[in-house]
């Protein structure tokens, strides 16, 4: 009996002998999705994807390249925790992209020393070269990624290993498209670690030659190299010494330095003193005649559009100079709010780089927390740059100094964000928190239709999204629904639709449709302008009862307006929704007539196909 009962019980538990129902297994995400999770540092979601069978070596796309792996994406975006997870799950630390660059190279791209350490611990080849022959160290010095350079050198990377053109890492660090100062901090780091300043490349050029021909920070780099033992007499394959090359190229200040012109020598001493953070040496150089506001740029043949020029204060802000150095420069009549060739004051440079001690010293000396120029670059103030860089400490300092976080950048030149928009866009949680604590609203984040929560969701930052939710953040759709319900209760359907049309508010239009409201027959006649940005709304409104051929003043239909403005996508949608291409306005013109007078070729072609 006991055996029978046991048999019955086990049979019931097993489904009485029937075929067990298979448990559905989660489908692993596509390679590109895995790459995005790694790039965003979403380690919890990445772990779930790997648990579901995603390949840690999945090959997707990134930065326009094929063979972009999750490990490359994590390293390139400074996501060391994602790097650690992927390595633990079997990611190949040497798997390159389509141009031969390994994840270690991308740790320099992402300015991610911790990612570099993890990859080195995993046993990567420090000297692995890409298709051009560049090593990870060669790329790190090229980028001016000093922290990554230090990690690579500590691990044993070859400080003299030649790259393309036979250039040593020291020569490669000196480059045209470096920072405003010729990557001087990287050059100094390499020299401090024993790099030879006399080594020639395949053209016979030493780093001194390169400082003249290839860098906007030529005077500073030239002075630095000579201070560390570079040879002025070495001739390149064309038979020229660095001084002769400077004369030929018209690098006037560098040439005057070579021939011993007193003011230029003093200027070079000033720049070196700032680089060394030596306040007394700064004072001495100023007393010797160093100009306190002269650009660091080594010559005069680079245009301001090409070079992000800057003076001694910009260099001090860039390298994170001490309060003492800033005070001496200010006492020496350095112009605190002077801008460089890109329109940036020193405050912006210090804030974006997170050099908070220098920023505090600049503000204490009297520098303005906001740009004093009428049109700053991209309309971005120092607080925007600091927020975009995730420098929460700098953001707080600027707020305390009176900077406005609510000012929005120019949407036509950039994102159209205020400070919160930039912080959310780039996923900087603590910076978002600081701005919210300062009283910023979670609604629209600038000259665009998005709320902070919209941006967080679109960009895939769940922690930022959660923080915004706790502070009352809503999406545009959620805000529009609440507004629609309030308008319907107060003004009725007619008033609600009138508000949507008058405000050209597409989110409110969508909310009213979602609530089952029927638009007025002539609604499209007044709302056509907003629909150019969201043309998919046209068929939804038509299906709900709006007349696609409704007319406004002068007998103009939405199609007339769209044709006159050359709005090809909107014209196409209106035609698909039944707009009459033969309709005439009070002047007898068809939409095609308006397109021929004011429109563009796409609009004309679309209307010509439908012309009677």
The domain over range 518-610 is classified in CATH as 1.25.40.20: yes
What pLDDT does residue 163 have? 94
Query: Residues near 12 by Cβ (< 8 Å), separated by ≥ 6?
Result: none
Whether the CB-CB separation of 420 and 445 falls below 8 Å is answered with yes
Compute the residue count for the chain.
Answer: 612
DSSP-assigned states of every residue in 529-564: HHHTT-TTHHHHHHHTT--TT---GGG--HHHHHHH
Secondary structure (3-state) at 171:
helix
What pLDDT does residue 20 have? 45
Conformation bin of residue 320: beta by default, left when phi > 0, alpha when psi is -120 to 50: left
End-to-end CA distance of the chain: 91
What pLDDT does residue 137 have? 97
What pLDDT does residue 64 have? 64
Between CA 286 and CA 288 the distance in angstroms is 5
Between CA 50 and CA 319 the distance in angstroms is 41
Exposure string for 462-474, b = 16+ CB within 10 A, e = fewer: eebbebbeeeebb
Instruction: Kindly give the interhelix angle for 31-40 and 80-88, rounded to the nearest 10 degrees.
Output: 130
Bridge partners, residue 345, by sequence: 339
DSSP-assigned states of every residue in 107-125: HHHTT-HHHHHHHHHTT--
Between CA 398 and CA 350 the distance in angstroms is 11
Whether the CB-CB separation of 531 and 570 falls below 8 Å is answered with yes
Q: Kindly state the DSSP code that residue 30 receives in the 8-state scheme.
A: P
Query: Residues near 139 by Cβ (< 8 Å), separated by ≥ 6?
Result: 101, 105, 108, 109
- As averages over each run of 10 residues, the pLDDT of the chain (612 residues) reads 34 39 64 91 93 93 78 95 98 94 94 97 96 95 94 98 95 69 88 96 93 70 89 93 84 78 88 94 95 67 43 92 97 91 88 96 96 72 94 97 86 75 94 96 85 92 94 93 95 95 93 96 90 91 95 90 90 93 93 87 84 57
Kind of pairing between the strands at 65-68 and 60-62: antiparallel
Structure token digits, residue 333: 């009549």
Q: What is the 3-state secondary structure (H, E, C) of 227-294?
A: HCCCCCCCCCCCCCCHHHHHHHHCCHHHHHHHCCCHHHHHHHHHHHHHHCCCHHHHHHHHHCCCCCCC
Structure token digits, residue 487: 């308008």
Conformation bin of residue 350: beta by default, left when phi > 0, alpha when psi is -120 to 50: alpha
Model confidence pLDDT, tens digit, residues 410-432: 655 557 899 999 999 999 999 99
Model confidence pLDDT, tens digit, residues 302-347: 333 333 567 899 999 999 999 999 999 999 999 999 888 778 899 9
């Amino acid at each position: 009996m006991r055996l029978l009962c046991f048999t019955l019980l086990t049979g019931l538990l097993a489904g009485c002998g029937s075929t067990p129902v298979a448990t559905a297994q989660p489908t692993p995400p596509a390679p590109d999705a895995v790459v995005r999770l790694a790039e965003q540092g979403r380690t919890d979601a990445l772990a779930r994807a790997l648990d579901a069978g995603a390949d840690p070596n999945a090959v997707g796309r990134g930065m326009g390249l094929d063979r972009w792996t999750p490990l490359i994406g994590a390293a390139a975006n400074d996501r060391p925790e994602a790097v650690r997870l992927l390595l633990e799950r079997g990611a190949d630390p040497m798997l390159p992209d389509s141009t031969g660059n390994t994840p270690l190279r991308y740790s320099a791209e992402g300015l991610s020393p911790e990612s570099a350490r993890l990859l080195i611990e995993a046993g990567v080849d420090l000297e692995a070269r890409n298709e051009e022959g560049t090593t990870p160290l060669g790329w790190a010095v090229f980028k001016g990624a000093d922290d990554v350079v230090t990690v690579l050198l500590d691990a044993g990377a070859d400080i003299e290993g030649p790259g393309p053109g036979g250039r040593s890492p020291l020569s490669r660090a000196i480059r045209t498209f470096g920072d405003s100062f010729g990557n001087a901090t990287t050059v100094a780091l390499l020299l401090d670690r024993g790099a030879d300043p006399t080594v020639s490349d395949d053209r016979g050029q030493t780093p001194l030659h390169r400082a003249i021909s290839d860098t906007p920070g030529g005077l500073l780099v030239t002075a630095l190299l000579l201070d560390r033992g570079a040879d002025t007499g070495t001739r390149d394959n064309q038979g020229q010494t660095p001084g002769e090359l400077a004369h030929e190229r018209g690098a006037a200040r560098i040439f005057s330095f070579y021939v011993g012109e007193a003011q230029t020598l003093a200027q070079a001493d000033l720049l070196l003193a700032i680089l060394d953070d030596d306040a007394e040496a700064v004072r001495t150089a100023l007393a010797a005649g160093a100009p306190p506001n002269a650009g660091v740029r080594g010559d005069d043949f680079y245009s301001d559009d090409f070079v992000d020029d800057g003076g001694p204060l910009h260099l001090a802000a860039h390298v994170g100079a001490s309060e003492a150095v800033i005070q001496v420069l200010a006492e020496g009549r350095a112009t605190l709010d002077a801008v460089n060739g890109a329109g940036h004051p020193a405050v912006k440079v210090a804030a974006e780089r997170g050099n908070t001690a220098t920023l505090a010293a600049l503000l204490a000396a009297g520098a303005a927390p906001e740009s004093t120029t009428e049109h700053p670059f991209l309309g971005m103030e120092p607080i925007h740059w600091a927020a975009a860089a995730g420098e929460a400490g700098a953001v707080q300092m600027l707020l305390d100094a009176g900077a406005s976080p609510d000012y929005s950048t120019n949407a036509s030149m950039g994102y159209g964000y205020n400070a919160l928009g930039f912080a959310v866009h780039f996923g900087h949680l603590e910076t978002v928190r600081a701005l919210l604590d300062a009283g910023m609203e979670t609604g629209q984040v600038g000259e665009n239709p998005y709320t902070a929560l919209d941006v967080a969701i679109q960009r895939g930052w769940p922690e930022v999204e959660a923080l915004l939710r706790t502070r009352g953040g809503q999406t545009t759709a959620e805000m529009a629904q609440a507004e629609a319900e309030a308008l319907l209760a107060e003004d009725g359907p007619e008033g609600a639709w009138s508000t949507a049309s008058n405000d050209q508010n597409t989110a409110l239009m969508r909310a009213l449709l979602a609530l089952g409201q029927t638009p007025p027959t002539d609604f499209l006649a007044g709302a056509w302008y907003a629909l150019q940005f969201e043309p998919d709304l046209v068929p939804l409104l038509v299906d709900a009862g709006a007349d696609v051929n409704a007319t406004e003043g002068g007998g103009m239909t939405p199609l007339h307006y769209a044709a006159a403005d050359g709005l090809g996508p909107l014209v196409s949608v209106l035609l698909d929704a039944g707009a009459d291409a033969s309709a005439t306005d009070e002047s007898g013109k068809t939409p095609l007539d308006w397109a021929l007078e004011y429109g563009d070729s796409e609009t004309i072609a679309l209307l010509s196909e439908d012309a009677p």
